[in-house]
Chains A and B, each alone.
Chain A
Amino acid sequence: MEKQRDSKPDVRALAEALAAAQTPGALRAALAHTELDKLTANETSVLSRALHAWGAPPDVKIAYLGNFTLDLLPCAVDVACAKEGLRTASYVGPFGQYVQEVLDEGSTLVRWQPDFVFLALSLRLLRPDQVAAFSLLSTTERRELREEVAAHLESWATAALDRLPATLLLTNFAAPTFPLAGVADTKAEYGETELFLDLNLDLLRRFKGQPRVRLVDAERLTARFGKERVVDRKMFYLARMEWSPAFLPVVAGELVREVTAVKGLTRKCLVLDLDNTLWGGVVGEEGAAGVKVGHGDPEAEAFLDFQHRLKALQSQGVLLALCSKNNLADVVEVFETRPELPLQLADFAAREICWDPKHEGLRKIAAALNIGTDSLVFLDDNPAEVSLVAQMLPEVKAIVLPPDPAEYAGVLEKLTDFERPAVLAEDRGKTEQYRQNREREDFRLQAGAGGGGGDLGGYLASLRTELEIRRARRDDLERIHQLFHKTNQFNVTSHRYSLADIERCVTGHQCELWMARARDRFGDLGTIAVVLLKQDGRSLLVDSLLMSCRAMGRGIETALFNHIKTRLLEHRGLLEVRARYLPTARNKPVENLFESHGFRVTETRSQGEKLYALGRGDARLESCDWIHVLAEEMAVPGGR
């Protein structure tokens, strides 16, 4: 034990902790300080075995297919996923049979129903003759090779999408470390360099529009690790192992990002300290002009770069917030006197600048943004602050910044918590939406204080909310998928449907998938609600009913219920609407939603589950004249 303490983690103790872990939090805590690339392949497999010790149900099922040996990859992915609190189940397809596995309706893969199918192909094993004789191929033959390979992947993906509800993770092709033609390759007519760039670009463009196919960039991953170390030639000749065991943690790390993104486990807000986090020095000591950020000084450049990266995160839909022990006036002065900085005070959706303990600040920030504290990541340069937050709010991901600001940017690169499958119009306008919400809140307080229009109805009417409810289409899939996964509070059943499930709802006949967009006097709220209705004999079943928290508290639900009731009344064959409330830790706000819209409780089950019905004769539309329900479609800002 003694000798292991200095460099290596004690793998046996770690394995015991993992085998005993009952909750996602326990998994995360056990692996919090383990760097996966420091583990040997054998240690990784010991940990993976411990994770499967008591047959806990998996959170995610991943199938691995390819034309080279991938058998050691699942262990690395198991451990990497556990570090994020996820349990995995894996299936490695028979060697080289990735085509048969998706074409055969009865294959183990199809029957296993994975959530993700990972496909990795080695070009030299896929087209051995052409790759071996590449220098003898004509330009036409080289171009044909590119076209043929890209078409092969596309037809594989089409077949797989057709058979499986899974998300496909498709690896592209890493260019060789040394092209056969050496430095002359870049002058060749369609040399290796050009072939690989062209092939990968072709693949990227072919699959960009298909949300269920995600390209895993092998070119980038191998470069990140160091291309020369990716292949262990001996292992390649012996066992058709294109990736050395040492490279696998890098692939695993990328797969975790994909899983996090697709499963909607993205955290929502990054909370930052100020002094020595957003700028160098302490503003209370050095003054607004004295803090380091900007050009002309290496430390100031590092802080500037860090701010640029935070700004980029924000533009992808991550909310930024400030939690800093400072005098507000000093902080305001920095921002007011430095308008050239990438981050301005208005970029922070919430601010807690005072001398209270930071865990209290974080709680207030979460409350102000109407999100859970488990949606927060907190960055601070002070280890004592971080450790107190970790103790008081273990669900917050609290990270200590490294001592040198040169390394700050790297901290953001390592974070997987803000990965999302694609950046949608709603993400881009996120901070703006929260700013509008603050204006709405101020407006509400004013309306209350003003006396005259102090009633709720008057306030709601003065918001001038417009609502468009329409059937969902194919191009709405990604936003609807996002809402299914991110909505916690106003969500009656919290079903987390996959993209493929939602796709079927759009195309199928048994389902009606409705979505609602809203805007008001302060701006556009985007797509904010989803209603999934299923016909079951002579009943209409409310399978899902959910609404983004930013649209809550303005009576939009009444309009949604009117819509559901109208569907019942319009359809002569239907006798009733049935519904269900499934309690979770977060959906208390909708506990009595159905009751308050005329539904009758037909059964109460254990743990607070309730079943409801509303008969045809009892369905009455309710007045909601504070909302203008639009007959035609709204224009979509941002072009999506």
Chain B
Amino acid sequence: MDGSTVKTAVRLREIMAEVLELDPLQIDDSFARDGVPSWDSLGHLRLITALEEAFGIRFTMKEVGELDRFSKLHERLSR
């Protein structure tokens, strides 16, 4: 990982922890939506909105449906 993707990961972890009301330490590289109560459909929308606001990007509808784990979000945001 180069410096910018590390920075992205830190930022992403921070936002996910804040929106989903979790300890950032819980959000490791394998962290996924399955079984996280606060990452329900509303939590997902809030997360998507927060990431779009923070990174100044727009996800497509298809992406919103697919981005269900930390690694995928990180990969998409590092592009």
Interchain CB contact under 8 A, A245 and B41: no
Closest Cβ–Cβ distance, residue B75 to chain A (whole Å) = 20
Q: Which residue of chain A is the closest to B64 with respect to CB atoms? A: A238
Interchain CB contact under 8 A, B61 and A234: yes
Interface residues on chain B, size class: 10 to 19
**Contact pattern, B 27-63, Cβ under 8 Å of A = 1, otherwise 0:** 0000000000000011001100110011000111100
Give the one of A42, A45, A245 with max B CB within 10 A. A42
B77 at interface, CB cutoff 8 A: no
Contacting residues, chain A, for B50 (C-beta < 8 A): 40-42
Known: A40-B53, A41-B53, A42-B50. A238 touches B19 (CB 8 A): no
Q: Which of A46, A49, A235, A237 contacts B45 (CB 8 A)?
A: A235
Q: Which of B15, B41, B59 contacts A42 (CB 8 A)?
A: B15
Closest Cβ–Cβ distance, residue B77 to chain A (whole Å) = 15
Known: A41-B46, A71-B42, A72-B46. A238 touches B61 (CB 8 A): yes
Interchain CB contact under 8 A, B46 and A237: no
A239 at interface, CB cutoff 8 A: yes
Interchain CB contact under 8 A, B61 and A42: no
A619 at interface, CB cutoff 8 A: no
Closest Cβ–Cβ distance, residue B39 to chain A (whole Å) = 14
Q: Which of B18, B45, B60 contacts A239 (CB 8 A)?
A: B45
> Count the A residues whose beta carbon is within 8 Å of the partner chain — how many?
16
Contacting residues, chain B, for A40 (C-beta < 8 A): 49-50, 53-54
Contacting residues, chain B, for A72 (C-beta < 8 A): 45-46, 49
Q: Which residue of chain B is the closest to A11 with respect to CB atoms? A: B18
Interchain CB contact under 8 A, A239 and B41: yes
Interchain CB contact under 8 A, A42 and B45: no
Closest Cβ–Cβ distance, residue A281 to chain B (whole Å) = 45
Known: A40-B50, A41-B46, A41-B50. A237 touches B18 (CB 8 A): no
Q: Which residue of chain B is the closest to A232 with respect to CB atoms? A: B49
Interchain CB contact under 8 A, A42 and B18: yes
Q: Which residue of chain B is the closest to A72 with respect to CB atoms? A: B46
Interchain CB contact under 8 A, B64 and A42: no
Q: Which residues of chain A in 39-84 are interfacial with respect to chain B, using CB atoms and an 8 Å cutoff?
A: 40-42, 45-46, 49, 69, 71-72
**Contact pattern, A 222-255, Cβ under 8 Å of B = 1, otherwise 0:** 0000000000001101110100010000000000
Interchain CB contact under 8 A, A46 and B46: no
Closest Cβ–Cβ distance, residue A333 to chain B (whole Å) = 56
Interchain CB contact under 8 A, B18 and A41: no
- Determine the distance from Cα of A480 to Cα of B30 in the docked complex, in whole angstroms: 63
Interchain CB contact under 8 A, B19 and A42: yes
Known: A238-B61, A238-B64. A46 touches B18 (CB 8 A): yes
Interchain CB contact under 8 A, A237 and B49: no
Closest Cβ–Cβ distance, residue A320 to chain B (whole Å) = 43
Contacting residues, chain A, for B19 (C-beta < 8 A): 42, 45
Closest Cβ–Cβ distance, residue A174 to chain B (whole Å) = 21
Closest Cβ–Cβ distance, residue B56 to chain A (whole Å) = 11
- Determine the distance from Cα of A200 to Cα of B64 in the docked complex, in whole angstroms: 36
Contacting residues, chain B, for A241 (C-beta < 8 A): 45
- Determine the distance from Cα of A227 to Cα of B22 in the docked complex, in whole angstroms: 36
Closest Cβ–Cβ distance, residue A56 to chain B (whole Å) = 20
**Contact pattern, B 2-30, Cβ under 8 Å of A = 1, otherwise 0:** 00000000000001001101000000000
Interchain CB contact under 8 A, B49 and A41: yes
Q: Which residue of chain B is the closest to A39 with respect to CB atoms? A: B53
Closest Cβ–Cβ distance, residue A10 to chain B (whole Å) = 15
Closest Cβ–Cβ distance, residue A81 to chain B (whole Å) = 20
Q: Which residues of chain A in 82-124 are interfacial with respect to chain B, using CB atoms and an 8 Å cutoff?
A: none
Closest Cβ–Cβ distance, residue B50 to chain A (whole Å) = 4
Closest Cβ–Cβ distance, residue B19 to chain A (whole Å) = 6
Contacting residues, chain A, for B21 (C-beta < 8 A): 49
- Determine the distance from Cα of A260 to Cα of B8 in the docked complex, in whole angstroms: 43
Interface residues of A (CB under 8 A from B): 40-42, 45-46, 49, 69, 71-72, 234-235, 237-239, 241, 245
Interface residues of B (CB under 8 A from A): 15, 18-19, 21, 41-42, 45-46, 49-50, 53-54, 58-61, 64-65
| The 10 nearest A-B residue pairs measured at CB | A42-B50, A40-B53, A41-B49, A71-B42, A239-B45, A245-B49, A234-B61, A238-B64, A238-B61, A42-B19
The 17 sampled A-B contact pairs (Cβ below 8 Å) are: A40-B49, A40-B50, A40-B54, A41-B50, A42-B19, A42-B49, A42-B54, A45-B19, A69-B42, A69-B45, A71-B42, A72-B49, A234-B58, A234-B60, A235-B45, A237-B61, A239-B45
